[in-house]
């Protein structure tokens, strides 16, 4: 590593400059949740495609209705039914929510505002919209304005209108909109194929029982944690491969080779510093990976490694994270999260301004990122004026970067400036939410 380490902002800029957006692929509507549209989705017809009632009630000619006058019920329109007749002044038809407004009608009066006399058979003897009329109705409060309680044709969107723009992240509402316009296959930005390589002879499978472990051995938390973080970004398990590698140079090179040849992103944990058994930097050199940076002026996570493999079959971004679990969790949020967002076309994670609820120690040589709990989130602000910052964050006490337990209640990270002093309670700092 060089004597002068990059700042976090400099390092992130270097990472993002190599995190190119991935290509496109077509997916079915059920698989589209969480994906980013690569092309616009347009309506195939007006939305709604007809004037429809917004309420259960009675279709009327608005200017012909007078308070207290009885009107014959001449028919009924159910949702999905077609009314061939024309409604004249002085007549009414029962109408269901979502049903097409009959010709001649220009309003619906809700059933709650009607007084019905007699029975209406609901069209049982007269087809979809015609029934035996022995009923009548009056409206004690009087008439209504034209187009009251009507969802007018094309009021939402006209045929050919873009309803979901490219770059939209598909959530439940967006899936519903696509279904409405018949877009059952969507062009989206491809998901990255991610390889997760964890290292260390002392690291065992999480299923290892206590009786089968020696006191100096630990279970693998980094692999499951990174896979969960990827899942929180919408990168499902079928696009992620986790392999644990022993502390052996040849085994490390072979695992690294397979990872870069079959993945868009490789995330590694441990084996990235300058120790005798930190084999990953040597493996990347042996495989022709271009080193972008090795070491960043941050705590935790100083030994971060970033490299790129360019090949005829594409580019692979290598992000080497430290081995301590808090360092892994922090640097995954600081580097992997924004890089993957850039590659998938997703909105970038943001930092908001908050006040510290308690004082905390900073460092002069490195920016410190500490797990924290956001308080008063309703008052969170991205305003540049300190007086407008109402949210506060409480930094959680820790025992160092090996203390994963202290992150159990954390909601995000606070970013402390490079200062050799305590940052006082009430000072404004930056906060970024953790993935869930």
Chain segment 304-344, per-residue pLDDT in tens: 999 999 998 889 999 999 999 999 999 999 999 999 999 99
Which pTM was predicted? 0.86
> Within this chain, do residues 37 and 64 fall inside the same structural domain, yes or no?
no
Position 1 in a domain: no
Residues 6+ apart with CB under 8 A from 364: 418, 419, 420
Residue-range definition of the domain harbouring residue 36: 25-47+165-189
Q: How confident is the model at residue 406 (pLDDT cuts 50, 70, 90)?
A: very high
**For residues 427 and 359, what is the distance between their CA atoms, to the nearest angstrom?**
8
Query: Is residue 227 within 8 Å of residue 258, measured between CB atoms?
Result: no
Is the pLDDT confidence value at 154 over 90? yes
| End-of-domain residue from the set 305, 323, 344 | 344
pLDDT, tens only, 155-171? 999 999 999 999 999 99
Could you tell me if 148 and 109 are in contact, meaning their C-beta atoms sit under 8 angstroms apart?
yes
Looking at residue 164, the DSSP 8-state letter turns out to be E
Q: Do 76 and 174 belong together in one domain?
A: no
Tell whether 382 and 368 lie within a shared domain: yes
CB under 8 Å to 378, separation ≥6 — which residues? 390, 391
Do 405 and 336 share a domain, yes or no? Answer: no
> Are residues 64 and 134 both part of a single domain?
yes
User: Token pair for residue 96?
Assistant: 């269901």
Structural domain count of the chain: 4
Contact 132, 123 (CB under 8 A): no
Same domain, 123 and 199: no
Specify whether 282 is located in the same domain as 372: no
Angle at the Cα of 314 from the Cα atoms of 309 and 318, rounded to 5 degrees: 35
Which pLDDT value is given to residue 131?
47
Tokens linked to 165: 């723009």
Q: What is the pLDDT of residue 19?
A: 97
Supply φ then ψ for residue 258, to 5 degrees.
Answer: -65, -35
Q: Are residues 325 and 204 in the same domain?
A: yes
- Supply the pLDDT for residue 275: 79
Burial state string for 227-242 with b = 16 or more CB within 10 A and e = fewer than 16: bebbeebbbeeebbbb
Confirm whether 232 is domain-assigned.
Answer: yes
Q: What is the pLDDT of residue 181?
A: 98
Last-in-domain residue among 151, 175, 201: 151
**Residues 395 and 372 sit within 8 Å (Cβ to Cβ):** yes
Q: What is the pLDDT of residues 99-148, one digit of tens each?
A: 999 999 999 999 999 999 976 544 443 334 444 455 899 999 988 999 99
Q: Is residue 248 part of a domain?
A: yes
CATH code, domain with 213: 3.40.980.10
Count CB neighbours of 287 within 10 A. 17
Classify 377 as helix, strand or coil.
helix
Does residue 274 sit in the same domain as residue 409? no
Where do we find the tokens 């992997």?
Answer: 336
Beta carbons of 174 and 164 less than 8 angstroms apart: yes
**Shared domain check, 196 and 185:** no
């Amino acid at each position: 590593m060089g004597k002068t380490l990059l700042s976090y902002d400099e390092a992130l800029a270097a990472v993002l400059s190599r995190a190119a957006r991935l290509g496109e692929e077509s997916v079915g509507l059920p698989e589209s949740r969480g994906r980013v549209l690569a092309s616009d989705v347009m309506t195939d017809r007006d939305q709604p495609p007809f004037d429809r009632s917004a309420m259960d009630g009675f279709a009327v000619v608005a200017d012909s209705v007078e308070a207290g006058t009885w009107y014959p019920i001449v028919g009924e329109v159910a949702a999905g039914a077609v009314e061939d007749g024309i409604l004249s002044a002085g007549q009414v038809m029962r109408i269901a929510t979502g049903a097409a407004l009959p010709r001649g009608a220009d309003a619906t009066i809700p059933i709650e505002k009607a007084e019905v006399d007699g029975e209406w058979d609901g069209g049982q003897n007269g087809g979809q919209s015609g029934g035996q009329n022995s009923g009548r109705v009056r409206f004690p409060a009087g008439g209504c304005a034209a187009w009251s309680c009507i969802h007018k044709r094309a009021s939402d969107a006209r045929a050919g209108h873009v309803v979901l723009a490219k770059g939209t992240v598909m959530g439940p509402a967006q899936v519903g909109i696509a279904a409405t316009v018949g877009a059952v296959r969507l062009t989206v930005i491809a998901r990255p194929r991610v390889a997760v390589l964890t290292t260390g002879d002392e690291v065992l499978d999480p299923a290892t029982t206590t009786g089968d472990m020696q006191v100096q051995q630990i279970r693998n938390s980094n692999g499951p944690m990174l896979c969960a973080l990827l899942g929180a970004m919408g990168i499902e398990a079928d696009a992620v491969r986790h392999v644990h590698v022993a502390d052996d140079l040849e085994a490390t090179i072979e695992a690294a080779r397979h990872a870069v040849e079959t993945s868009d992103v490789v995330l590694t944990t441990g084996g990235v510093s300058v120790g005798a058994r930190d084999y990953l930097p040597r493996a990347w050199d042996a495989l022709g990976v271009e080193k972008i940076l090795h070491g960043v002026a941050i705590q935790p996570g100083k030994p971060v490694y970033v490299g790129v493999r360019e090949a005829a079959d594409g580019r692979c971004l290598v992000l080497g994270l430290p081995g301590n679990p808090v360092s892994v969790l922090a640097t995954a949020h600081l580097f992997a999260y924004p890089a993957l967002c850039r590659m998938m076309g997703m909105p970038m994670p943001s930092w908001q301004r908050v006040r510290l609820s308690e004082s905390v120690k900073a460092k002069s040589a490195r920016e410190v990122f500490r797990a924290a709990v956001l308080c008063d989130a309703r008052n969170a602000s991205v305003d540049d004026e300190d007086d407008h910052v109402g949210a506060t964050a409480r930094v959680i006490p820790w025992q160092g970067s090996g203390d994963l337990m202290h992150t159990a209640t954390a909601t995000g990270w606070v970013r402390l400036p490079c200062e050799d002093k305590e940052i006082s309670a009430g000072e404004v700092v930056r906060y970024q939410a953790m993935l869930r």
